[in-house]
Amino acid sequence: MISDTTTSARYRVTNGVLSYGIPFRIYSGTDVAVFWSADARADTELTLGTHYTVTILTEGGTVNLLPGVVPVGSILAVVSNIPATQEADFSSTSTVSTEALETQLDRTVQMIQQLNYMASRSVVLPATSDETPQEVLHGVYAARDDAEASASTAATSENAAAASADNAASQANAAAASASEAAQSALEAAGAVPDNLVERVTATETKNTEQDGILNAHGDRLDSVESGITALSTTLIGCVIPMFAADGYVPNGCVLPDAAEYTESQFPTFYTDYLAAGRIVTCTYAEFAAQVALTGDCGKFALDQVSKKFKVPLYKDGDSITHAASTAEIGRSVQAGAPNATGKIGLDASIAKWVKLGTKGVFEIELDPEGTAGNSNSYVNTHAMTFDLSRASSVYRDDITTVQTDGVRLRHFVVLASSQNNASVFDWSAYMAALAGKANVALDNLTAPAEHQIRERTKLVPLGSRSTTGEWTLTDVAVGRLLLLVWVPASATQDAWIQAIVTSGAVLGSWPNSPNTGMHMGTYTTWGSTNVMAVKPTSDTVVINIRSKQAGTLYAEQL
C-alpha cells in the first residue's frame, strides 16, 4: 500500500555528510535519480556506481555520495525514478501471489505520482486558453530570437557610440590643436600686424566654441554630477573673475583670493595640469610671504611642490587689476604711490625775517593778523608757513588715506575648476562633497549637538585651588591639553604674590621664572606682574610646590 505521495527530496550538501535519505519506497538502486546544482538553475545528474551508491530499506533508503563528488553548499535532489514497466506475469491457471500483485499495484501508483510530480513542475496552459503547447513554444522561440536580435542591435549601437565618442575626442583634439595654432598665429600677427589681432582672437574663440559644440553633440559626460556642479561655466581655469556677488555667495568652481591654502589631493587637476605644469605663473611660499609683508597683497599662486600644496592669490580691499606687458610682470603687486609735490618760499637772511619774496607750489605764507607791515618787501611779526598738497593738484584730498583711482568695486574670485576641463569639475564635486556637513568659518551653520560639543570641549574645567604653601597634587589632568594656573589676590595691595615650581607631570610656559624659584605670579617690588600661567601637562598627575605666597589663592583650571 502507498499512502505517501512524496516523490522527491532536496538537501543542502553539508561538509562531512555523505548519506542522504530517500523518503519514498524503492525496489532497486535504479529506482532513484540523483541531481545536484550550485544555483538551482541547471541540474547535473549523477551516475549510480560512479558518483553514488544506494542502500535499500523497507520504506525508502539512502543515497551515499562518494567523497569529493558534490561541492559543499550545493543543492542535492533525490527523485523517484521507477521505470514505467510491468514486471509481474500472472497466469490464469496458476495461483496469484498477493504480495507480487500488491508490489505491482504499488509500483503503478508510484508511476502515477511521478507523472503528477513532473506535471506540477511543468509549464501548463490555462484551461481557458485556446492555444496549443506548440503555439506557445513557437512564441517563446520567437521572443528569444527577438531578444537576441535586440541584444545584437544594442551591441552594435554601443560599438557605434564608442566609435562616435572616439571620433568626438579626435575632433576635440583637432579643434584644440587648431585653436592653439590660431592663438599662436594671433600672437605672431600681433607683432607684425597689430590691427588684425582682434580678428585672430575672434577666430580662436570661434574654434573653441566649435570644440564645445562637438563635445556637447556627443553627450554630456557629467550626468552623474549634481546640478550645481554641471552648472560650472567654461571660464578659463586660473583666471580671476569680477562679480556683483553678495556676501556669502561664491560661484561654483571658484574660491576667494584670500591666500587660503589647498592641497594636490583636493584639486589634483588644477595642481598637476596648471600649477606644476607651468601654465600659471607661481612663486615660492617665501616669496609670497615677502610680498604680502611689503604690500599687503600678492597676485601670484604660491606653490610648494615638496609638500604638494598651494596658496591662492591675496587681494586686499581696494586692489585694482591692471595689464601686465610681460610674463615677468604677471602677479606683481604695486605699492601705492603718488607724484611728488614741491614748492618754494623765500627768506631774507640779512634781516632774519620771512619776506614775501614769492611762494610757489604747495607753500604759502600766513601773516599775523595783529602784525605790522614794514617796508614794501617785508612784514613784521610774520609767523606761519603752511604746506598743502591740494594747492598743487586736486587729486590730493583730505577724505582718503592712500592712492585711489576712479573705478567701480566688485568682488573677485579665483577659478580653480570649470567645464573647460572635465576632470577639474569632478575634482570640484569631490571637494564640495568633502565639505558637506562641516562648519563654516563663521560657525553660524552649527547644529545644536555640534555647538554643545564645542562648548563642552572648550570650557574651563576647575581642578581645585590652594591657599597655603607646600606640595599641591593635581589629579585627573588631561595630558596635552592646556592647564591654566590663575593667581587671585585677596586684595589689590602691592604685595600679593606667590612663588612656586612645577616639580613633575608638566612643562612650564614662557612666563617669568628662574631655575631656583620657578614661577612668580602677582606683584612684588622687585619683579613684574602676571596672574595667569600656562602649563603643558605630560602626565595625568601634576605636582606643584608652592614655596611662598602672600594674600591670595592659586586656582587650577583646564580647557
Number of Cβ within 10 Å of residue 438's Cβ equals: 8
This prediction has a pTM of 0.38
CA 274 – CA 312 distance, rounded (Å): 13
User: All 3 cell numbers of residue 55?
Assistant: 542502500
* CB neighbour list of residue 477: distance below 8 Å, 6 or more residues apart: 463, 483, 505, 506, 537, 539, 540, 541, 542, 558
- Helices 197-217, 133-192: inter-axial angle, 10-degree rounding: 170
User: Residues with Cβ < 8 Å from 73, sequence gap 6 or more?
Assistant: 12, 13, 38
For the chain, the C-alpha Rg in angstroms (whole number) is 48
> To 10 degrees, the CA torsion angle through 175, 176, 181, 187?
130
Q: Which 3 state secondary structure label does DSSP give 288?
A: helix
Cβ distance 107 to 27 under 8 Å? yes
Neighbours of 558 (CB within 10 A): 19
Q: Are 504 and 474 in contact (CB under 8 A)?
A: no
Which of 430, 553, 547, 420 shows the shortest CA–CA distance to 489?
553
User: Average pLDDT by consecutive 10-residue portion of the chain (559 residues)?
Assistant: 83 92 90 92 91 92 93 93 83 76 84 85 80 80 82 76 70 66 57 50 54 45 43 73 87 91 94 93 93 88 95 86 77 68 56 48 57 47 62 72 72 89 87 77 75 78 89 90 85 72 73 51 59 86 85 87
Note every long-range contact of 395-403, with CB atoms under 8 Å and residues 24 or more positions apart, other chains counting. Answer: 395/338, 396/338, 396/341, 402/318, 402/336, 403/336, 403/337, 403/338
Calpha distance 269→249 (Å, rounded): 24
DSSP string covering 376-406? TT-BTT--EEEE-GGGT-TT--SS-SS---S
Nearest Cα to Cα of residue 458 among 466, 469, 450: 450
* Domains, the chain, ordered by start: 8-121 (no CATH), 239-334 (no CATH), 338-369+379-403 (no CATH), 459-558 (2.60.120)
pLDDT at 388: 73
Spacing of C-alpha 396 from chain mean position? 50
What's 368's DSSP letter? -
Nearest to 49 by CA among 24, 22, 75, 30: 30
Residue 177 CB: number of other CB atoms within 10 A? Answer: 11
Rounded-to-integer distance, Cα 258 and Cα 307, Å: 20
DSSP string, 290-357: HHHHHHS-B-SEEEETTTTEEE--B--TT------SSGGGTT-----------EEEEEETTTTEEEEE
Integer CA distances (angstroms), 285 to 163, 245, 297, 308, 335, in order: 47, 29, 13, 12, 20
Cα→Cα distances 328→109, 202, 417, 545, Å: 102, 26, 25, 63
3-state secondary structure of 217: helix
Q: Which residues contact 350 (CB under 8 A, 6 or more apart)?
A: none
Query: From the centroid of its chain, how far is CA 22?
Result: 61
CA-wise closest residue to 497 among 554, 535, 544: 554
Predicted local distance difference test score (pLDDT) of residue 81: 93
For residue 517, what pLDDT is reported?
Answer: 44
Of 211, 212, 202, residue with least CA distance to 232: 212
Percent helix, strand, coil in the chain (nearest 5)?
30, 25, 45
Do 385 and 364 contact (CB within 8 A), yes or no?
Answer: yes
CB 535 within 8 A of CB 510: no
Q: Which residues contact 142 (CB under 8 A, 6 or more apart)?
A: none
* pLDDT value of residue 249: 87
- For 448, the enclosing helix (H) or strand (E) is helix 448-458
Give the Cα separation of 491 and 555 in Å (integer): 16
Closest among 268, 256, 270 to 319, alpha carbons compared: 256
pLDDT of residue 185: 60
